[in-house]
Structure 1
């Protein structure tokens, strides 16, 4: 076989960082790129997020024949890019934030839930990077792919499959070229709401020539970051603990927060909590627009009325501030107004952790006002032991760990391992 017709994989970004993977699979003149995120590095304190600033700081990959020519000044090469597509595994910014930089001649596929959520998340223009020459809140066209249905991109076939992560609607990808099968996990775990989806993903991708797998859990080798150590071992136990806090504190103000895309957790909290759960109006609007669910909500002082929210579900903000027994409500601002001695549950909400400079000042503010802070986490990422199980389930010939500060800590018991450098091109022998 002529070398130019062999499957090639190019690793542009997100290899030794938390998030930001940009990887291309090519066969002859057919190309698929995934994901489209920005590496999260708030410590850089960038003056702007212009295209060139992101490239210079390696927050996105320097991918040729991919970005909008209004940004690069270079039209896509017809000879190089005869058949092309891009894919996003889930809505988290380290996998999706740069999607508007994609040239609009390139089709962009996601799972159906991700496709419905991304425009809603960006409706105020504060979620995604802006597209060149478009309004701030513009979101480029996204194709909501049918799950488990092959998609033809020239000589390449894509199959988007259900997976499990703490972002609602997360998927994985199986890529088939005429000579190879490659699986990309996106972000993945076995302790979420749908381990059976991951098992099915492993079965479908079994014996793949290459498995590209996130290995976030190995980023802190000197600390114990197993689920058993940090908190609940799975999402069900996390909900049980939230319920138990309410049972154990019948006369105490209890508030909480979660990350916006962790929709299944929010729905379970609402379903199982003894108290009435009340969300911020912005969060209620997101749920209504993205999945059509109506929930109880409140407005912060000065917030504009949101017409699509049912007026009969509104709870007065001052009622919540005074409450000690009836409500479990989402606190998003005015933390200094929470009752002294109250309980606040931070459940994988922003600020996300100690790596974010905003995290410690946030915790300090609560403690200064005598608010007890409970960090109730359940990771969206597989533990070290689960990663090994996932690898054995796929049984890949070549393992490529990415999305980690220490990918070298992940071994392949089934074959060889590749630790690519940025911009490295790998061609199967």
Structure 2
């Protein structure tokens, strides 16, 4: 077992377990030659010490694409429930349940929308699983982006800390994030490769490599008593190795000869026609921009976009330039990827931020976080002239090497405007191809569907419109429309030996908000209150009355925050006080329920009164003090 905590800051390699057998390749492809496979029972993950596997737990390895010989009861029901990710971009989490066994795929977060003031992020609702924790045989993570791993620190303990299976890079990122939640205890982590097979109750789980914009991304194949469930994770189809891990197309193609009961596939770019850009095209354009830069290059991108970081490192080394990184999460990810061999960098390429003035300006590349316009990220602080050491100069070129996440358009535009005002040149993906998304477009999705030939199809990961577009693509490839299930979050898809159906049953899947240290203690009502205060402010009405008589001791006090400036609105203030006095005539100190009644009356009538006067609806907070 390996603990998630480490004594040093250096990321640790996670044990891979024993290789128990060697299998011949499935197709004449270098991707599959000399593969080794091992099958490990769930429940034997890694903690602080290496755990010796008992002889009786060893099982012969399974060929990835061969039917399982183990015979299970096929009279049960297989449930597929997407708890998050099907009505938004983010908080991805899928549950597979067969009788007394459950596995979970991904456990991510979603960043808040602009109308969610004060919220840090949103995580899946796991109410459905809380009475079933003894059935959970493992959590399988497709890759290391926060929309797939970000909720783990908040949820894994509530699920009795099941083993988390993923690649060594992904586990290192999970472990590093767990260090920010020291009170949560240790995680049980077990590394796998795409050659491994894991036994998890009635499920047999195997993996295939996919291209995404972070190394070691994987799709997952789950053998169930009723057939195979294929989950793509985030993916695009690529055979290149320019910054990305090539997709294991041969493994995916070999699935078509088996009974693939259902394909669950990434829908993020289903509305985008054509094929995804190749990374080799992006590399050419990045090389050109880096070569022609007259001054410093400041490149903003996602902290976890390791494929892009690798491409820029290659270009810098080719052109004799130096790189520095700024932003805690980016520096952390670079350190982890370097230590595990997933980011290659020659000695002398990397310099510290303090050293940039030691070199000619046209030899400096600064890679940083904040390309999405995040308020406190590095690029925004540079643009707002709040960075402790970096100031925009007229000869600088600022490159946005990422697409804009839906919902961030306005903040990104404001960021660009601020940079333009400071005189720098701005280059973004709409001007030149400097970003290839990590998600397959329509033609690639069509190719995958024809390759796998599933009996049922379930589009996942994306807003409802994305899922619908993906469903249309599936129908165009010949899949029976009655066997295409567009499910909302929480909607139960059920399979039996007689077939599958999208049921009307829904399990809880509403937002769980994380606000500072609070998890789930902020409800939609609180969000509405915050929206109201953000839009129209608030006004506090303080009435001091005599407890025996109910008479006002003094004129009601008003406190305005974000509503009006009281010194400039004396007439409105006095009219409001007069209205409060008239309401308090009904106050009866001898009736215990009267306080609540009067407060509600003040809230409603003062709210209506102020709207009539201002056409704004501030939050009204009545306070009654008895003396």
The TM-score with structure 1 as length reference comes to 0.78
After the TM superposition, which residues 167-246 of structure 1 pair with which residues of structure 2 at under 5 Å, given as runs?
167-191=214-238, 193=241, 196-206=246-256, 207-218=259-270, 221=271, 233-246=277-290
Normalised by the size of structure 2, how large is the TM-score? 0.55
Change (3 A) 1:288 1:316: closer
Does the 8 Å contact 1:227/1:378 carry over to 2?
no
Match of 1:27 among 94, 98, 113: 98
Greater radius of gyration (CA): 2
Q: Matched residues in 1 for 2:302 and 2:263: separation?
A: 29
2:459 to 401, 405, 413: 401
Q: CA deviation at 1:285?
A: 4.8
After superposition, the Cα gap between the structure-2 partners of 1:248 and 1:226, relative to the gap in structure 1 and judged at 3 Å, is: farther
Q: Aligned partners of 1:280, 1:18: CA distance in 2, in Å? A: 27
Does the aligned pair in 2 maintain the 1:163–1:197 contact within 8 Å?
yes
* Unaligned ranges ≥5, structure 2: 1-71, 369-377, 386-390, 429-433, 500-627
1:244-259 map, 5 Å: 244-249=288-293, 251-259=294-302
Which residue does 2:55 correspond to in 1?
none
- Give structure 1 stretches of 5+ with no counterpart: 67-75, 298-309
Distance between the aligned counterparts of 1:200 and 1:343, measured in 2? 42
Which deviates further from its counterpart, 280-289 or 392-401? Answer: 280-289
Other-structure match for 1:17: 88
2:531 match: none
User: Which digits, 9 at most, give the CA deviation of each residue in 1:28-49, with x for residues without a partner?
Assistant: 2111111211233332424345
Contact 2:208 2:252 in 1 (8 A): no
The 1-side partners of 2:126 and 2:196 are apart by 31
Q: Contact between 1:35 and 1:89, CA under 8 Å: does it hold in 2?
A: yes
Which structure carries more relative contact order (alpha carbon 8 Å, separation 6+)?
1
Q: Work out whether residues 175 and 183 of structure 1, in 8 Å CA contact, stay in contact via their aligned partners in 2.
A: yes
CA RMSD of aligned residues (A): 3.2
**Number of corresponding residues:** 380
CA offsets, 1:181-227, max 9 Å, x none?
00001100024645742413422433511000111113xx5xx6766
Are the equivalent residues in 2 in contact too, given 1:255–1:345 (CA < 8 A)?
Answer: yes
The aligned residue for residue 272 of structure 1 is: 315
**1:357/1:119 Cα in 2 relative to 1: closer, same or farther (>3 Å)?**
farther
Secondary structure class of the residue paired with 1:217: coil
Within 5 A, what are the aligned runs for 1:227-376? Answer: 233-249=277-293, 251-273=294-316, 274-280=319-325, 282=328, 283-292=330-339, 314-315=351-352, 317=354, 319-320=356-357, 323-331=360-368, 332-333=378-379, 334-335=382-383, 336=385, 337-348=391-402, 352=405, 355=408, 358-375=411-428, 376=434
Choose which of 97, 109, 125 in structure 2 pairs with 1:61. Answer: 125
Q: Matched residues in 1 for 2:353 and 2:98: separation?
A: 59
* Aligned counterparts of 1:424 and 1:346: Cα–Cα separation in 2: 38
Query: Structure 1's 295 and 110: CA in aligned 2 closer, same or farther, altered over 3 A?
Result: closer
What secondary structure sits across from 2:366 in the alignment? Answer: strand
Compare 260-269 and 319-328 and name the one that shifted more: 319-328
